[in-house]
Amino acid sequence: MNAPEMNRLRGQIRYNEAMSKHTSWRVGGPADEYFMPADLPDLQEYLHRLEVNTPLTWIGLGSNMLVRDGGIRGVVIAPLGGLKELEIDDTGCVYAESGLSNSKVARFCLKHNLTGAEYLAGIPGTIGGALTMNAGAFGSETWNLVESVRMINRQGELINRTKEDFEIAYRHVRLPVDEWFVAARFRLQRNNPGQDSDIKHLLQKRNDSQPIGQPSCGSVFKNPPDNHSAKLIESAGLKGYCLGAACISDKHANFIISNTDTRACDIEALIAFIQKTIRQKFNISLETEVRIVGEEA
């Protein structure tokens, strides 16, 4: 995008931006271009001006993404902090844009005595990510609450869609080609005040069972049918196992922990090693929940 076109934008554009600054594993090579829109109209303007064949990658809090050491070609769009509109609309639904953190939406619902979204407080990510992967925790899933969504395409056009327009499954949503979530309307139930203890209970449950405060992506693998990935990994004797500078958490076996010396290739190699071991021992194929993007160094 040339200088005059950039001057019309109100968001920030960075070049050769280290993705290690934007992922919860703190690893990843540079993005060619990194755009942080000021708001939804700014994002529309940016996409409208962008070359049609430019590769696009979207990132929220970077908590469910492994960026390879070679980085990301094309553009990374980061709506966090820009797409942040949050309100109860005239239909009684909670309207939340995709750059909002899940925890902020959970607490907004609590403040307005709405129940059903408490579990979002335990998912480290944004609404955009929760919609994209049908994120869930404590027996609840995002798309159980969705009334409708707003999408944006490569031309910057907005499209309103209903739940029926999508193929939805466990940790999976099939999106239309070259469309991305920018907002959703969630239908929740009215509840009596005082639900704060439920959120605190869920967060305490998460803190007790997960390595909170250590660099990870959350759960690495989806749970196979009628089983749990953490249980399989632990049963294989891999809890605490390290490969290179990446280690399986000794607190929760479905978490991989990084440190200052870890590279993305260490994490990816450990993921592959876990999958191979579980396949050999239990004849079960573990599917990754984490999204792996970018190029090898």
Select from 62, 101, 19, 72 the least CA-distant residue to 216.
Answer: 62
Instruction: Look up tokens 């909002």; give the residue.
Output: 100
Q: Cβ neighbours of residue 22 under 8 Å, at least 6 residues apart?
A: 28, 34, 59, 62, 78
d(CA 101, CA 126): 4
Q: Cβ neighbours of residue 13 under 8 Å, at least 6 residues apart?
A: 1, 6, 33, 34, 35, 36
Select from 85, 101, 81 the least CA-distant residue to 11.
Answer: 81
Name the token pair of 249. 């958490």
- Per the CB < 8 A criterion, the answer to whether 100 and 84 are in contact is yes
Catalytic positions are 171, 219, 289
CA distances 67 to 5, 23, 108, Å, are 29, 8, 31
C-alpha R_g of the chain: 19
